[in-house]
Chain A
């Protein structure tokens, strides 16, 4: 396989790459931690705040059910939001970076 050789450390120091790196790191780890916290609120809440989970909100539907269901929508929402940001920002920066190299 004929592989093009790149000066990796020069790319790593280029402003475009640094911008990409900062934006990505902040976004990815920030939202990852958010999703973990939001998820673990479910088992923790169910165990230590059962009173809250029992409150009936819509007819027989209680807070616990809505909260568990919200996990699905939050996950989907986050996935869509990430796709949006990645397609718009990260991919654009990557393309610009790659085209500068060629």
Chain B
């Protein structure tokens, strides 16, 4: 208990230190900050190859920076940190056995777990990224959000209940039941750690940038602060604390989104038809659409609609490659069901019925959230204007925040500050909840699968298991912080897509086949996991997600050639001449710097044209698993099939909530 108090003290002093250090930071001078994650997985705005475009004609009254008022923000942050710390103290007392640590002793109810799943799943990127995407590209952002909910149908129908009945703590438990446990657990643990690390890195970097942008905490301080809190929750409170942090976060997120949606709806008199009319006839949106590359292309081809406002409500302004879309959709719809931190949530409920209920509760929360996000996105486009949103962050990630400040500010400046501060705190809680779930999943894989079952052959008493779990969580958290700091300058947006790709191509095929195919065996699990994981990572490494200096150089050349052409044609106004000349100089320098360079794998251009590898890597994962199973049949696996199938369908002989 003493350690707990020390940790608490550390955290509190750290947050004060961060506050004190604040004035030193000057994030305003930074160019467009990369996005906090998935929504921008496909966003061109975050690829370094795309230069931060100078803001479109910003109106005089619109803000070009967004800063939360620390006098309001810091107390709200402290309240949330304090509340979660109380949860940790309370859960630490309850966490005695391995089952307590990994699954809260199986004592979470269906409804609680539903909220926790929603809290585990909805990242800051969903909240900020998708509303931003809608505010800048309209319909496509909404379409993008659909897959995140539909993914849960797979979870509900295929994996939730059988996993509850077949597993204990980890993915390795499900897969090793009728196979050779050691190799299977080892490979499952590696894939779990890979998925968690990709996702965690994206979240950590997003967290650092977000805190830096919003409250001016230096990047490293923000990462260390988030990291210490996350390690504190997991190490001391295990799954119980993680669950409650996720529930609190889901509650805060839904409250914030709901309040803001109401404010948006008031503007249109609660009439959906009026709302859509407001969008389509908004002059700022019309101006914005007319400047979008797709619209310009359509205009050149003579296919553009004259009603640019209505065009905002139609598909194709942003997601222009249908194959990439379908590929991403596959990764989402199948990957969610293979995400180790989501699978793990099903071990925290006592029965299959509770698992079912929790998915349904989660689906309603998540679905409702994405529908409200549409309101926020369009609301931001109408009220804040796409031009202003773009001027603060080229990827649009600050749209919801700016909307909060503006709509609240219409009542009183204090209310604007308060709403903004509240949303900042929500984003912060969101990050904490997601990273804690990931750290716990990765630690469970290392401590339970590798240490206890591979190294110690399953012979470890409760005390040793819990110690192993705590030490591992601590190490995983420390590594997470280190990676987060190291990756500051990296483009991490594609890592979320990569995490989903690995989960859908590696984990999902083997989970489904373990549960539903009699012949499935050790060779199948190992081959499926290895091929699915390697294929996803490999395809991303040769995809347009990576930076190709040669391509950067060509883009730079195209950009300055066009500008030079404009000057020659007299299209550049005299007052803009100096700026244009500077841009040309910068582009030329960029070309020289990048010309002849190679990507990380020594390529001069992408070999694989899609940003999302799912469409190829998912079939590869399935085929590898099937072929290996058939090539190396195992009698044991087939003999045990009846047991596995009866167990997963009936829950008979299930590992009971409390191990005695």
Which residue numbers of A lie inside 8 Å of B, CB to CB? Answer: 1, 3-4, 6, 8-9, 11-12, 17, 20-21, 24, 28, 31-32, 35-36, 39-40, 42-44, 46-48, 50, 53-54, 56, 58-62, 64-65, 68-69, 71-72, 75-76, 78-80, 82-83, 86-87, 91, 94, 97-98, 101
Contact = CB atoms under 8 A, between A and B. Distances in A.
A60 B280 contact: yes
B68 to A, nearest CB: 32
B313 A39 contact: no
Counting contact residues on chain B (CB < 8 A from A), the size range is 35 or more
Interface in B313-354: 313-316, 319, 322, 325-326, 329, 333, 353
Contacts of A53: 314-315
A32 B334 CA distance: 11
Contacts of B645: 12, 21
Contacts of A39: 146-147, 150, 329, 333
Contact of A75 (B153, B353, B649): B153
Interface stretch (B73-81, B360-368, B547-555): B360-368
A50 to B, nearest CB: 6
Nearest to A32: B157
11 contacts: A11-B652, A32-B154, A36-B333, A40-B326, A43-B143, A50-B314, A60-B279, A61-B272, A75-B363, A79-B363, A94-B649
A54 B149 contact: no
A1 B660 CA distance: 5
Is chain B's binding surface mostly helix, strand, loop or mixed?
Answer: helix
A50 B310 CA distance: 13
B653 interface: yes
Interface string B619-660: 000000000000000000000001101110111110110011
B273 interface: yes
A4 B653 contact: yes
B356 interface: yes
A64 B364 contact: no
Most chain B beta-carbon contacts within 10 A, residue among A8, A43, A44, A82 = A43
Q: Which 7 A-B pairs have the closest CB atoms?
A: A47-B322, A46-B315, A8-B643, A12-B642, A60-B276, A43-B325, A35-B153
A94 B329 contact: no
Interface in B149-175: 149-150, 152-154, 156-158
Interface string B256-278: 00000000000000001100110
Given A35-B150, A47-B322, A78-B153, A65 B273 contact: no
A94 B651 contact: yes
Nearest to A53: B315
Contact of A76 (B154, B367, B642): B367
B142 interface: yes
Given A61-B272, A68-B146, A75-B153, A3 B653 contact: yes
A28 B271 CA distance: 38
B17 interface: no
Interface of B: 139, 142-143, 146-147, 149-150, 152-154, 156-158, 272-273, 276-277, 279-280, 310, 313-316, 319, 322, 325-326, 329, 333, 353, 356-357, 359-360, 363-364, 367, 370-371, 642-643, 645-647, 649-653, 655-656, 659-660
A22 to B, nearest CB: 11
Given A78-B153, A98-B650, 6 more contacts: A1-B656, A40-B326, A56-B310, A65-B139, A72-B370, A101-B652
Given A31-B157, A64-B315, A86 B356 contact: yes
B143 A68 contact: yes
A34 B273 CA distance: 31
Contacts, number: 150
Nearest to B316: A50
A16 B596 CA distance: 69
A93 B660 CA distance: 30
Nearest to A21: B649
Contacts of A86: 356
Given A58-B273, A60-B273, A65 B356 contact: no
B146 A72 contact: yes
A12 to B, nearest CB: 4
Contact of B142 (A21, A36, A68, A82): A68
A1 B659 contact: yes
A15 to B, nearest CB: 14
Contacts of A50: 314-316
A8 B279 contact: no
A20 to B, nearest CB: 6
Contacts of A46: 143, 315-316, 319, 322, 325
Given A24-B649, A46-B315, A40 B329 contact: yes
A32 B158 contact: yes
Nearest to B138: A65
Contacts of B647: 8
Contacts of B315: 46-47, 50, 53, 64
B276 A17 contact: no
Contacts of A69: 371
Most buried by A among B273, B315, B329, B659: B315
Contacts of B156: 79, 82
B364 A76 contact: yes
Contacts of A101: 652
Contact of A72 (B149, B333, B353): B149
B472 to A, nearest CB: 24
B276 A6 contact: no
A81 to B, nearest CB: 11
A87 B353 CA distance: 8
B326 A43 contact: yes
A11 B314 contact: no
A61 B147 contact: no
A55 to B, nearest CB: 10
Contacts of A6: 646, 652-653
Contacts of B643: 8-9
A75 B325 CA distance: 20
Contacts of B277: 59-60
Contacts of B314: 50, 53-54, 62, 64
B371 A72 contact: yes
A92 to B, nearest CB: 12
A61 to B, nearest CB: 5
A49 to B, nearest CB: 10
Nearest to B361: A79
Contacts of A3: 653
Contacts of B651: 94
A54 B298 CA distance: 15
B254 to A, nearest CB: 16
A69 B398 CA distance: 24
Contact of A44 (B319, B326, B653): B326
A34 to B, nearest CB: 9
